[in-house]
Amino acid sequence: MTVSLIQTDVAQDEKFSTLHLPQAMEWLAQALQQTRGELTIAPETAIPLLPAQLDPAYWQRVASPFRDGRRAALIGLPLGSYEAGYTNSVAGLTLESAALPGGFYRYDKQHLVPFGEFVPYGFRWFVDMMNIPLGDFSRGPLAAPSFEMRQTEGTLQRIAPNICYEDLFGEELAVRFADAASAPTVLANVSNIGWFGDTIAVAQHLNISRMRALEFERPMLRATNTGATAVIDHRGRAAASLPPFTRGVLESEVQGRSGATPFARWAATFGLWPLIAMAAVVTASAALRSRRRNNAAP
């Protein structure tokens, strides 16, 4: 499958600036129209506004290239309303998705960051005082359905999105492999770690994604704001990437895969409990041996 991964490179202090936002939105619209891949992915909050806040003509520019049946897209943006609550989400656009509620497939982030994305118990007063409506997102489902797209030759790809550091939690991604018939063929991470600037976070997050690719033997597509935007194969190797902190589009290819690793099978059923139980047994055995040696000492 040919893929186009967009790296927007918008500094965090410019992301919501009325001075810089129009130019960033215009560049994104042009990039989405010009990408060549069967699947195009734009990063987390690539569109930092709710659909209701967008000019309908702008959304038409964004969505129309993916309604011809030949291409599809995953685009990060917030969704929801003040009454229904907000979500940190990914919208999926295909010819078929035009008939869905809202006109697109939807993935809502499930593993939220305290204070950044949800308000811990007892701190609601702080968000109310600061009047930050997007400071408290709602959680999406853990066992989220994949984004399905059919290639021109008829192959069905199931892309499983995850947002930002959700790919740190392999046991949570494993839930999507419980049913082999609907298991993802490709993983896709959309991120904005511009919060951390030019730090080790870029390389760290790339290696986290590489580990998930190894655990599930699935390729991982990474479309990020500042990096690392990359195609990771099923063996955890970065097959193609963009330099961090640059604006551009990575045009590459990826091979979807089926089947399930042993980790995917038992983590989908038991989570991390087998590892926890094993660690408890090892710890208890070591403590027991130590106690016996102490009791045997003269």
- Summarised one tens digit per residue, pLDDT across range 55-71 is 999 999 999 999 888 89
Helix boundaries (H) for the chain: 21-34, 56-63, 124-130, 170-173, 201-216, 262-270, 273-296
Indicate whether 189 pLDDT > 60: yes
Indicate whether 283 pLDDT > 70: yes
Average pLDDT over residues 83-99: 88
pLDDT of residue 134: 56
In the 3-class helix/strand/coil scheme, how is 33-60 assigned residue by residue? HHCCCCEEEECCCCCCCCHHHCCHHHHH
Structure confidence by residue, pLDDT tens digits, 212-257:
999 999 999 999 999 899 999 999 999 999 999 999 999 999 999 9
CA 88, 91, 97 angle in degrees (round to 5)? 150
pLDDT of residue 62: 93
Residue with tokens 């499958």: 1
- Half-sphere exposure at residue 7, Cβ-oriented, CA atoms within 13 angstroms: 23
2-11, 203-212, 283-292: lowest mean pLDDT where?
283-292
Indicate whether 293 pLDDT > 90: no
**What are the tokens at 223?**
């479309």
- Beta strands 39-42; 2-7: pairing state: parallel
- Tell me whether residue 168 is exposed, middle or buried, using C-beta atoms within 10 angstroms of its C-beta: 0 to 12, 13 to 18, 19 or more: middle
105-108: strand order across its sheet: 105-108, 85-93, 72-81, 39-42, 2-7, 248-253
SS3 assignment, position 265: helix
β-strand partners of 40: 4, 73
Structure confidence by residue, pLDDT tens digits, 21-54:
999 999 999 999 999 999 999 999 999 999 889 9
What DSSP designation does 139 have? P
pTM above 0.85, yes or no: yes
Indicate whether 99 pLDDT > 90: no
* Active site residues per annotation: 44, 109, 164
